Amino acid sequence: MEQHVYPPAAQARIQGMEAYQALCAEAEADHASYWARLAREFLSWQTPFTKSLNDSEAPFFKWFEDGKLNASYNCLDRHVQAGKGERTAIIFETDGGESRKVSYAELLALVCQMANGLKSRGIKKGDRVVIYMPMSVEGVAAMQACARIGATHSVVFGGFSAQSLRDRINDAGAVALITADEQMRGGKALALKGIVDEALDGGVCPTLKDVIVYRRTGGAVGWVEGRDLWLHELLQGASSICEPEWVEAEHPLFLLYTSGSTGKPKGVQHSTGGYLLHAALTTSWTFDLQDSDIFWCTADIGWVTGHSYITYGPLALGGTEIVFEGVPTYPDAARFWQMIAKHKVTIFYTAPTAIRSLIKAAETNDAVHPKHHDLSSLRLLGSVGEPINPAAWEWYFQNVGGGRCPIVDTFWQTETGGHMITPLPGVTPMVPGSCTLPFPGITAAIVDEMGNDVPNGTGGILVVKKPWPAMIRTIWGDPERFKKSYYPEELKGYYLAGDGAIRSADRGYFTITGRIDDVLNVSGHRMGTMEIESALVAHTELVAEAAVVGRPDDLTGEAICAFVVLKRARPTGEEAKAIAKELRDWVAKEIGPIAKPKEIRFGDNLPKTRSGKIMRRLLRSLAKNEPVTQDISTLENPAILEQLAQAN
- Binding positions for ligand PRX, rule: CB under 6 A: 258, 304-305, 384-387, 409-414, 435, 497-499, 512, 515, 521, 526
Q: Give the nearer residue to ligand PRX in terms of CB position, either 387 or 528.
A: 387
Contact assessment for residue 285 and residue 424, using Cβ atoms and an 8 Å cutoff: yes
Q: Give the nearer residue to ligand PRX in terms of CB position, either 350 or 414.
A: 414
Alpha carbons within 13 A on the beta-carbon side of 279: 31
H-assigned helices in 499-631: 529-537, 573-590, 616-623
Q: Give the nearest distance from C-beta 411 to ligand PRX in angstroms.
A: 4
Contact assessment for residue 193 and residue 222, using Cβ atoms and an 8 Å cutoff: yes
Q: Give the nearer residue to ligand PRX in terms of CB position, either 496 or 622.
A: 496
DSSP letters of 132-144?
A: E--SSHHHHHHHH
The closest alpha carbon to 347, from 317, 390, 388, belongs to 317
User: What does DSSP assign to residue 504?
Assistant: -
Assign 615 to helix, strand or coil. coil
Q: Give the nearest distance from C-beta 439 to ligand PRX in angstroms.
A: 12
Q: Give the nearest distance from C-beta 122 to ligand PRX in angstroms.
A: 33
Q: Give the nearer residue to ligand PRX in terms of CB position, either 288 or 409.
A: 409
d(CA 89, CA 106): 9
d(CA 212, CA 131): 10
Q: Give the nearer residue to ligand PRX in terms of CB position, either 289 or 384.
A: 384
Assign 399 to helix, strand or coil. helix
Q: Give the nearest distance from C-beta 507 to ligand PRX in angstroms.
A: 17
Residue 506 burial by Cβ neighbours in a 10 Å radius (0-12, 13-18, 19+): exposed
Q: Give the nearer residue to ligand PRX in terms of CB position, either 157 or 563.
A: 157
Q: Give the nearest distance from C-beta 28 to ligand PRX in angstroms.
A: 24
Q: Give the nearest distance from C-beta 286 to ligand PRX in angstroms.
A: 12
Q: Give the nearer residue to ligand PRX in terms of CB position, either 74 or 410.
A: 410
Q: Give the nearer residue to ligand PRX in terms of CB position, either 304 or 594.
A: 304
Q: Give the nearer residue to ligand PRX in terms of CB position, either 214 or 412.
A: 412
Comparing every residue's Cβ against ligand PRX, the nearest one is: 414
User: What does DSSP assign to residue 127?
Assistant: -
Q: Give the nearest distance from C-beta 367 to ligand PRX in angstroms.
A: 30
Alpha carbons within 13 A on the beta-carbon side of 496: 23
Q: Give the nearer residue to ligand PRX in terms of CB position, either 384 or 564.
A: 384
User: How far from each other are the two terminal CA atoms of the chain, in whole angstroms?
Assistant: 37
Q: Give the nearest distance from C-beta 510 to ligand PRX in angstroms.
A: 9
Q: Give the nearer residue to ligand PRX in terms of CB position, either 313 or 385.
A: 385
- Strand runs (DSSP E) across 170-214, as ranges? 176-180, 182-185, 188-191, 210-214
d(CA 461, CA 501): 6
Contact partners, residue 639, CB within 8 Å, separation at least 6: none
Radius of gyration of the CA atoms of the chain, in A:
24
Q: Give the nearest distance from C-beta 387 to ligand PRX in angstroms.
A: 4
Q: Give the nearer residue to ligand PRX in terms of CB position, either 213 or 462.
A: 462
Q: Give the nearest distance from C-beta 93 to ligand PRX in angstroms.
A: 23
Q: How many beta carbons lie within 10 A of that of residue 269, not counting itself?
A: 23
d(CA 169, CA 336): 34
Q: Give the nearest distance from C-beta 613 to ligand PRX in angstroms.
A: 25
Q: How many beta carbons lie within 10 A of that of residue 453, not counting itself?
A: 13
Q: Give the nearer residue to ligand PRX in terms of CB position, either 211 or 512.
A: 512
Q: Give the nearest distance from C-beta 188 to ligand PRX in angstroms.
A: 26
DSSP letters of 509-535?
A: -EEEEEESSSEEEETTEEEEHHHHHHH
311-348: string of b/e by CB count within 10 Å (b at 16+)?
Answer: bbbbbbbbbbbbbbbbbbbbeebbbbbbbbbbbebbbb
Contact assessment for residue 250 and residue 272, using Cβ atoms and an 8 Å cutoff: yes
Q: Give the nearest distance from C-beta 311 to ligand PRX in angstroms.
A: 14
Report angle CA 116, 122, 123 to the nearest 5 degrees.
75
Q: Give the nearest distance from C-beta 236 to ligand PRX in angstroms.
A: 38
Q: How far is CA 142 from the centre of its chain?
A: 18
The residues facing 503 across adjacent strands are 510
Q: Give the nearer residue to ligand PRX in terms of CB position, either 127 or 409.
A: 409
